[in-house]
């Protein structure tokens, strides 16, 4: 079963400025609400190591994801696999808007369970809430660091 999650936010900064926030992996521990550390190179084919906290247990977890797309000012996309099977594909898409930048953060998850399952519905809602928190943190960083012209 596949689940798709998508959130969007308007940011009063240029796509270039928003990309700088996304691409500054070393600063994630200072502002990111979920990721404690992200290491690696933002280049297609490279691997990022993401350290995060498990939402239920609070324990540190490490995930390795393969970067599919790292198109400056436009898109960051990665995939995670388990035993060679894709379990999630996530992307951040930036596009110019009247107010600065429209940021879409979305993901597809496979193998999580049956749709309509109450536990899965709660999990998807928790993912959506987490994406909204991450979008807000990116917005705050981009707007604090830079202002869109005009």
Domain tally for the chain? 1
CATH (domain of 128): 3.30.530.20
Would you give per-residue pLDDT tens digits along the chain (150 residues)?
778 999 999 999 999 999 999 999 999 999 999 999 999 999 999 999 999 987 667 788 899 999 999 999 999 999 998 777 778 999 999 999 999 999 999 999 887 665 567 777 788 888 899 999 999 999 999 999 875 454
104 belongs to a structural domain: yes
Q: Is 12 exposed, middle or buried (0-12, 13-18, 19+ CB in 10 A)?
A: middle
17 belongs to a structural domain: yes
> In the chain, what is the straight-line distance between the N-terminal and C-terminal CA atoms, in Å?
46
CA pair distance 139, 21, nearest whole angstrom: 9
150 belongs to a structural domain: no
103 belongs to a structural domain: yes
Q: What is the pTM of this model?
A: 0.88
């Amino acid at each position: 079963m596949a689940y798709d999650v998508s959130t969007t936010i308007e940011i009063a900064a240029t796509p270039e400025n928003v990309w700088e926030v996304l691409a500054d992996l070393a600063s994630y521990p200072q502002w990111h609400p979920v990721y404690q550390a992200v290491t690696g190179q933002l280049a297609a084919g490279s691997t990022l190591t993401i350290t995060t906290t498990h939402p239920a247990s609070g324990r540190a977890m490490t995930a390795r994801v393969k970067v599919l797309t790292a198109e400056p000012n436009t898109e960051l996309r990665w995939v995670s696999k388990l035993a060679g099977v894709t379990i999630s594909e996530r992307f951040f898409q930036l596009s110019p808007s009247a107010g600065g930048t429209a940021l879409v953060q979305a993901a597809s998850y496979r193998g999580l369970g049956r749709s309509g399952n109450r536990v899965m519905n709660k999990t998807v809602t928790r993912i959506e809430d987490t994406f909204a928190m991450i979008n807000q943190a990116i917005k705050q960083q981009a707007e604090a660091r830079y202002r869109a012209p005009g």
